[in-house]
């Protein structure tokens, strides 16, 4: 079976994958608090805590299984430069991917190798080139479009995404980065594959079809 291209994100109940960055929040304290609330389900999981070497223990159950399955299916990731810039400042030395990561950017930069198997490669030739390189690196595993929202939308509108999962969290942002803002609805159709409620979020998975 051919490998798939997918994305997997947390989303607020009103459709945002990141809070609004406001001028009255120069230190991003409000932004960080909202983002932490959105990702609270993930931070509590045993697999996530152990993968980032935060601590031992944590919640088990179906949500933990989903996080582990997402990690294990991923052979390479693709992300935008903005997500990389934010992560470069906040990821631990052993970045959480443990696979090759291809960063879509205009910046020319040598590959950046991190402990634990993550190497960031910087691609200057657009999203399709980045995806081709990621497919080759992933082998028989899948390619994850890691984010951010604009990069995910670019791949979705280009018809390059096979399926996606949303962890729908019971939080409201009111403003921020909408996942599907600007989606080409005339080209993208969805088929529901699963809906799994867990303790903190509901996991929704869809196949992407062409109209």
How does pLDDT run across 120-179, given as a tens digit for each residue?
Answer: 999 999 999 999 999 999 999 999 999 999 999 999 999 999 999 999 999 999 999 999
What are the two backbone dihedrals, phi and then psi, of residue 106, each rounded to the nearest 5 degrees? -95, -10
Task: Map tokens 């200057």 to a residue.
Answer: 124
Q: Which overall architecture, per CATH, does domain 5-18+28-210 show?
A: 3-Layer(aba) Sandwich (3.40)
Q: Is residue 1 predicted with pLDDT exceeding 60?
A: no
Per-residue three-class SS string for the chain? CCCCEEEEEEEECCCEEEECCCCCCCCCHHHHHHHHHHCHHHHCEHHHHHHCCCCCCCECCHHHHHHHHHHHHEEEEEEEHHHHHHHHHHCCCCCCCCCEEEEECCCCCCCEECCCCCEEEEECCCHHHHHHHHHHHHCCCEEEEEECHHHHHHHHHCCCCCEEEEEEECCCCCCEEECCCCCCCCCEEEEEEEEEECCCCEEEEEEEEEC
Position 89 confidence tier, pLDDT thresholds 50, 70, 90: confident
Position 202 scores a pLDDT of 98
Residue 35: pLDDT band (50, 70, 90) is very high
Percent of the chain with pLDDT over 90: 82
Instruction: Return mean pLDDT, the chain.
Output: 93
Tell me what the mean pLDDT of segment 87-93 comes to.
86
pTM of the model: 0.92
**Per-residue confidence band for 87, with pLDDT thresholds at 50, 70 and 90:** confident
Q: How confident is the model over 39-51, as pLDDT tens digits?
A: 999 999 999 998 8
């Amino acid at each position: 079976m051919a490998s798939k291209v997918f994305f997997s994100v947390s989303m607020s109940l009103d459709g945002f994958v990141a809070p609004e960055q406001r001028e009255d929040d120069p230190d991003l304290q409000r932004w960080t608090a909202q983002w932490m609330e959105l990702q609270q389900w993930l931070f509590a999981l045993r697999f996530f805590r152990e993968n980032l070497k935060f601590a031992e223990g944590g919640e088990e159950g179906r949500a933990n299984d989903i996080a582990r399955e997402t990690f294990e299916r991923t052979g390479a990731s693709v992300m935008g430069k903005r997500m990389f810039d934010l992560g470069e400042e906040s990821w631990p030395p052993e970045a959480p991917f443990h696979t090759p990561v291809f960063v879509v950017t205009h910046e020319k930069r040598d590959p950046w190798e991190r402990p634990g198997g993550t190497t960031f490669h910087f691609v200057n030739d657009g999203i399709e080139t980045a995806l081709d390189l990621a497919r080759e690196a992933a082998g028989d595993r899948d390619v994850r479009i890691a984010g951010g929202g604009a990069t995910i939308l670019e791949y979705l509108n280009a018809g390059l995404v096979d399926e996606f999962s949303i962890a729908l969290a019971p939080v409201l942002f009111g403003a921020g980065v909408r996942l599907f803002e600007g989606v080409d609805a005339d080209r993208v159709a969805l088929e529901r594959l699963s809906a799994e409620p867990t303790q903190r979020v509901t996991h929704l998975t869809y196949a992407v079809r062409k109209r």
